[in-house]
Each structure stands twice: as C-alpha cells, then as structure tokens.
A and B are shown apart, each in its own frame.
Chain A
Amino acid sequence: MSQTAVETEAPVSTPSVLARLLRRPLALTGLVIIAVVVVAAVFARWLAPYDPYEQFFEGLTLEGAPLPPNAQFWFGTDLVGRDLLSRLIYGAQTSLIIGVVANGIAVIIGSLVGITAGYFRGWVDTVLMRLTDLMMAFPALLLAIVLAATFRPSLWIVALVIAMVNWVQIARVTYTETRSIAERDFVVAERAMGAGAGRILFRHILPHLLSTIIVWATLGIATTVLLEATLSFLGIGVQPPTPSWGNIIFENQTYFTSAPWLVFIPGAAILALALAFNLVGDALRDILDPTQQGRH
C-alpha cells in the first residue's frame, strides 16, 4: 500500500507508529476490521460454517426463494440456496487481493507517474501526462475486456487489469500537487544544496502527498472491488461459482427488493473494509505529519 512509502523509523523519544495507532480509538477500530477480514480470508477453510459451493436443500423456501438470515444460516442464503456467510468468508480472499493488492499497485504506479511528471516537467511531463490522458479517455472496461481476452482469465489477470486502469486518477492528482510543491522554497533550497532528484522526490515531496494518496487509495478500494465484480459479471475474471464480494452483489442485485440482505450484507462488508482502511490511513497521516502533533 501507499503507506510503505513513508519513512517508518520510529523516533526514540516517542512511541512507535503502531503503538500510537493503537492508542487512537478510531484507528484501532479500523485495524480490528482489517484484521477480521484478513483472518477470514486466510483461514476461510476452517472458519466458514459450510461449503460455499454447496446448494442446500433446506436453504430455499418451498417456493424456491432464498432464506433471510436465521439461526442456521446467519446471513441467509442466496438464490440457489448457498450459505451467504460462507461465500462472504471465501470471497474475502478475492476482494482483498483486488482491493488491496491491485489497488495498491495502481496507487504506486499513479503516484510514481504523477510525481515524476510533475517534478521533471519538459518532455518527461509531456509523455507521461499525455499517456495518462490517453488512458483516461480510453474506456476502462473495453481495455479490461481486451486484456482479459488476450490472456487466460484468472484472478491475477483481473488484478493486473484493475491496476492498469486505476492508476490514472491518482497520477493526475499527484501531478498537480507535485507541481505546486516543487515550486515551494524548501524544494528550491534542496536543489541549492545539491540534492539529487531521487532525494527530493522521495524524501521531500512524497511525504507531502501522503494525505492525498491515502484518500485516493481508500476510495479506490470500493471502486476496484466493484470493478472486479463487473469484470466477473462479463465473464472475464473470477469465474462463478467462485465467490467474491463484488460478484455476490452482482448475481443478486435484480432480487434486491425481495431479498435485500443478499446485496446489503456484501455491500456493508465492502463499505466496512474501505472505511477501515480510511480510518487507519487518516490516523497514519496525522501521526506521520509532525505539524499535526499535539492537536488531539
């Protein structure tokens, strides 16, 4: 994730970043949610109450309608009588890979492109930013379909495709901010000292972009999880019956009025994950920004 770009060396006199994160109730909440999702994804085989693919006879009403949450199926069942909770737990694997890994790669690519173009200007700027504009103008879905059709559909191809189409917004935003930061006196002072571009970009400009990057990275989680669902729906990517949070929503959205829990519960899961990253991100931003200290 983007947070890796931050210098993590902990000051001697003050407690470590993690300790300070744990001291904030909101950040702690976020960390707990993330931990729950990660544990669910990793230990799905042992945690899930049922087989996610099994279509239970008792999972449907006599009329063939899905069951709302009850004592046996805590989160209810889906249209073919599978246990929603088990599908969510297994789906966490896919969604974490998409929302965190694919999105993280997109954030890293976008930030690198943005700060490089914004700092160097000239032809580097022209090439990189025109490429960004091109990517922005190109329908992401079409590109995804082409890429996915060229390679054999798999989760990793979906992750790659999502990373390829999602970096552009971040590149745009970081580019604009870098341009203004690069003109500030402390960057000019750094140049006057003889500092190289790498040092200026990563030690002096990137930390200032952190809050922007964190916001975009957390927004990206929800977007990418749903984009994966779109791709899966189109038959490129995660193939049914393999569950992912996105495709659970997609499979069931037409029955929203009669079986709202089928959309509502996975939707809430995505929301909770994005919110959790946002809470942690916000707290990290404050902790890593020395000018904010002592304001809580």
Chain B
Amino acid sequence: MTEQTPPSLLEVDGLTVQVATPAGAQTVVDGLSFRLARGKTLCIAGESGSGKSMTALSLMQLLPKPTARVTAGTARLAGRDILALPEAEMRRVRGRHIGMIFQEPMTSLNPVLSIGRQLGDAIIAHGAGSEKETRRRALELLDQVQIPEPERRLSQYPHELSGGMRQRVVIAMALAQNPEILIADEPTTALDVTVQAQILALIRKLQADRGISVILITHDMGVVAEMADDVLVMQHGRMVERSPVDVIFSAPREEYTRRLLAAVPRLGEMKGTLQPKRVLARPAEACPARQEDGPLVEVENLTVRFDIKGGILQRAVRRVHAVEGIYFTIRRGETLSLVGESGCGKSTTGKALLNLIPWQGNIRVAGRSTKGLRPTAMRPILRDVQMIFQDPYASLDPRMRVGDLVAEPLVIHGLAKGSELTDRVAYLFRRVGLSPEQMRRYPHEFSGGQRQRICIARALSLSPKLIVADESVAALDVSIQAQVLDLLQDIQDETGISYLFISHDMAVVEQISHRVAVMYMGRFVEMGTRAQIFENPQHPYTRKLMQAVPVADPSRPRRAFVEKAEDLPSPIHPLGYVPPRQEARDIGGGHLVWETLRA
C-alpha cells in the first residue's frame, strides 16, 4: 500500500436527514461527512437509533418518503451529487454504481419468484441481453458468491434456501451490474455465527477480486474489527469518531467509542476463572454458599418431534427432529447455558421445561414430574419455572400497562391483590432498576433495555427457582446487554435462582455460565463447566463455533476464505427416520463429549 491517500470514490458532506414525527421534524442524521476510498471498506458502527441505516438509505435515495427526507448535504459520486438526482437518473445509479444488501435476506427476496428469475431481473435491469446470456451471467454470479450447484438454484425459490444461501443470492443480485460501491446494512445480523463468518469472508474476497468499495453498517464491533479499513462511529445521528480501524481499537479518541468497546464481551476474557463474571467482581464472602440438596431440574431423554403435515388428508409426511434424547440437570443457584445455532433445538428445550410444547421423556422440577400435566396441574410448577423471551417488545402485551403486566403472574396465581399487589409490583420495579412511577405507562413508551427489565420483573414476580432465558439479550445493544446480564447475575447472587440461559452468542455465554452445553442438531455434543468448554473444547463443532465468533481485535489475522458454502444440515427427516446412536464420554471432571457410534 502506498502512503498517499487513495482518491475517494464517494464524498459525503454535511448529510442531514429529518424524520417527521407528531412532535415535529426530528433530525436523525446530523451533518455527517465522510470519504469512501476506492477499494476500501468503511464501517459505520453504532447502536440502534444512531442513524446508520438512515445514512445508507439516503445515499440510495430510498428513504421512506414522505416521512423521512434529506434536508441538507451532498454526496458526490464521480463528480455528481447523487442526493440531488431526479428519480429517473437515480435509478441508473442504483445497481450500476451502488449495490445494496439488507439485513433480512428472506424479506429482500420475493418469495413467489424463482432465484433465476430474480437474479435475471437484476441483470437485465439496465438493458436486456439474450436469455442465454442472462442465464450465463446468473450462473457466473452464483458461482462467484460460492453457492454450490448453481444450476439447480436457478429454479429454486427463496424458501428452499437456507438463510446463508439467501444472503449469498442477495449479494449476487447487488453485484449483478458490477457496482463500484456495495452498501451492506447489517448483512450478517440475522445469520448464525458460522454462516456469518462465511459471508464476511465472501464479501472480503469479492472486494479484493473486483476492487469495489464497501460501506458496511453494523452494531457488532467484532464484525468491524474483521472487516473495516476505516471506521465511523455514530451516536444519535452524529459522527462521534472517524479513524482507521487499528486506531479505533487501540487508541479510541472519544469516550463513547471507549464505552462501546468496553461493553463488547470478548471471547476468552474469562480464562482461568470458575465463577461467572459478575461474581468475580465482588468480594468472595459476598457469594452465598449454595446448599446442595439435589438438582432443581432433571431432564432425561427429552425428545421433541414435530410432524409436518401435507397432502389432502393432512397426514404426517415428514418429521422435524427438534430435540433428540438429551439429558441434563440444573443445580440450585447455577446457570446452565445451552448454546448452538438456529434450529439446533435450544429454544425447544426451554419451552419443553414449561410444558409449552408436547414432548417425550422425563422432566422433574424440584422432584415433581411434569410429564403430561394439563395446564391447571402445571400451574404450581410454573411458580418455580419462569421464562424471559428474546424480544422484549413482542412478549409484552402492547395494550396493557406495564404495572399490570408485572402483576399478571401474581393475579393469575392468586398470590396478591389490592395494595399488597401494588407494593409487590413496586418492589419488583425497583429490583430491576426501574422507577415504580413508571407502572402506569405502556410498553411502547420504554426502550428495549427497559422492556427487558420489565420482562425480568414479571418473571421474578412469582419468586421462581428457575428462569429460562431464551436469547434474552440478543435483541439489545451491547451496552444495554451488559447491564441486563449484570442484573441477571446480581439477582442470582441475591436469591440463589438458577438460570437456563439459551444463547447463540459464545462470548455472552462465557460471561454468565457456570456450566455450558453445546447443542447441534437437537443433541448435546459437549457439556461441561465453563472452563472445560471454553478452555479445552473437544468436539469439532464446539471448536468451529468458537472460531466463528468475530473477535473485536483488528490485529488478529483475518480469517481465510472458505471455498464453497457449507450449510447447517436440516433437522427435517422422512417418517421412520432413526437418528444415529450417540454416546457420551467423560474425559475427566464431568466434561462430557458425545460421539456418534458407527452401526
């Protein structure tokens, strides 16, 4: 690389975007200026609401009109201000000069058109060629994004592809016109970590091969470290800091950048410790000794299968093997984490503990079997087992006041009423760091982190012995995520509650767990203490998961590109499928590794 600054391809000056709200115009991007150099990657990083997506949309003139509009600023691409171009000319810029990838690959593809058709449309969007030529180009593009069997994909529909494959198709469509700039808005946020690693490597490879410039928008500092040449940190619509990537991570200038980086959980930072992070932060005597009077939850041979019905008679035609015969126990005051990628059965396991879905096997909570209990008979057990969901907004009834929502379990179980109920709810609000004055508000008046606190308060209201936390911090910004994790751990220290912590995020799991079970295809592949799993991973899948986590350290060598995409296998099998037998091997100190037995 030469020392002189390469000529910039895109020059954005004073970009300002306003959104009309009932309270008047609100500025969501405020005087943003940056340069994008040819062949380089600029990462725009920031938390939700920082205006990063609005920036991307305004560059494409795709802002949701008339609510949002660019009120000031210029964006010069090859001497032309693309913000001022009329729609007809802007269409020629989109696709040909700037391609865009969105977060959710399923919604950015049309579900009723085949891949070949959609890709073909992207290719001929600016002037048709012959059908044969279009098809040849489509195959070439699919090959470039490393999709296996491109011929077959052309006639497939989006729902037949996995999330990673869909995102590859979306990238192929964005590249169809050979754009000079690729804008990727959270391109891997909806994907599993192993798939994310592949997609990021793919974007890097395409960039190197074609010399295109990339604007990557992300909230994940790990992704930033992995991808960026330059980083632009945004907060509340304003630029906080713009620096080369190594500077951002080694010597951040601004306080906000430092806080953002400090909040990122780093895989491996807990090395050599036995307790969760928060416990370590306080003096040793503060941790109450756990009385060991038998496990709180015992799960034996838990199996969950769903039939997929089809045909005119709605008979079962195929079967989803969501969970296949898992065994585990949860001790009192302990956090057991289930970690794995989407579709591995971790959420299903959590739901089975609360009898929310039909299952086979045996589950005992505090000695009581929950097998086949009807909802009324299950009620006393639900006083001991509660759940916190992933999306705090979706799990709160939007039409109820939050005070009533937190009181709901107490009312259902008939545990309190009148002023006693109000006092109890007020106590719970204070316990999770909210003010009791907020009880009369509705969920939409709260931020994501506050809503998750409300969910936690609701789960705590019955003083349960176990909380199943299903991806409970996944939807939160990192700084909020850290606060919620701290809260969960403080509650554990105080009350000796147990958690079944379900997550896909290895770094979060490392912070909060006593023990960890790694799930793959409905089964455990490895289980042990936090130290055993993170410091001595034995199963190849555990290792693969850990390697896939983006590390917030730009000095680490970036991962090599993997030829041809791999996919997670599907848990859907024909009827009568018998899964291969597996056996656990104890490799010392209760560290279990499962191995498939050959027939």
Binding site for B on A (CB under 8 A): 11, 13, 184-186, 188-197, 199, 204, 207-208, 288-291, 294-295
Contact = CB atoms under 8 A, between A and B. Distances in A.
Contacts of A295: 22
B356 interface: yes
Interface stretch (B165-173, B223-231, B383-391): B383-391
Interface string B373-384: 001101100110
Given A194-B409, A208-B399, A185 B440 contact: no
Contacts of A186: 394-398
B356 A192 contact: yes
Contacts of A290: 398-399, 401, 442, 444
27 contacts: A11-B440, A185-B390, A185-B391, A185-B394, A185-B395, A186-B398, A188-B351, A189-B455, A189-B458, A191-B356, A192-B356, A192-B382, A193-B382, A193-B408, A194-B375, A194-B383, A194-B409, A195-B408, A196-B375, A208-B399, A290-B399, A290-B401, A290-B444, A291-B399, A291-B442, A291-B444, A295-B22
A290 B402 CA distance: 12
A189 B387 contact: yes
A23 B263 CA distance: 49
Q: Give chain B's interface residue range (CB within 8 Å of chain A).
A: 20 to 34
A17 to B, nearest CB: 14
B332 to A, nearest CB: 21
B1 interface: no
Interface string B10-37: 0000000000001000000000000000
B354 interface: yes
A291 B444 CA distance: 7
Contacts of B578: none
Contact of A188 (B356, B401, B455, B458): B356
A204 B397 contact: yes
B442 A193 contact: no
Interface of B: 22, 351, 354, 356, 375-376, 378-379, 382-383, 386-387, 389-391, 394-401, 408-409, 412-413, 440, 442, 444, 455, 458, 462
A181 B233 CA distance: 38
A281 B401 CA distance: 22
A193 B386 contact: yes
Given A186-B395, A192-B387, A193-B409, 11 more contacts: A185-B391, A186-B394, A190-B397, A191-B354, A192-B356, A193-B382, A194-B375, A194-B379, A194-B413, A195-B408, A196-B376
Nearest to A294: B22
B412 A193 contact: yes
B399 A207 contact: yes
Contact of B389 (A11, A188, A194, A197): A188
Most buried by B among A13, A186, A192, A204: A192
Contacts of A185: 389-391, 394-395
B396 A194 contact: no
A196 B351 CA distance: 17
B398 A194 contact: no
Nearest to A205: B397
A135 B395 CA distance: 36
A190 B408 contact: yes
A192 B408 contact: no
Contact of A192 (B22, B386, B390, B391): B386
B399 A289 contact: yes
Contacts of A188: 351, 356, 389, 395
Per CB-CB distance, the 6 closest pairs between chain A and chain B, nearest first, are A185-B394, A185-B395, A194-B382, A194-B379, A290-B442, A193-B409
Nearest to B350: A192
A192 to B, nearest CB: 4
A193 B409 CA distance: 6
A11 B401 CA distance: 11
Contacts of B379: 194
B412 A194 contact: yes
A262 to B, nearest CB: 46
Contacts of B401: 290
B540 to A, nearest CB: 34
B563 to A, nearest CB: 39
A87 B399 CA distance: 45
Contacts of B383: 194
Contacts of B394: 184-186
Contact of B395 (A189, A196, A208, A288): A189
B475 to A, nearest CB: 11
A48 B396 CA distance: 54
Contacts of B413: 194
Contacts of B412: 193-196, 199
B456 to A, nearest CB: 12
Nearest to B462: A193
A11 B400 CA distance: 12
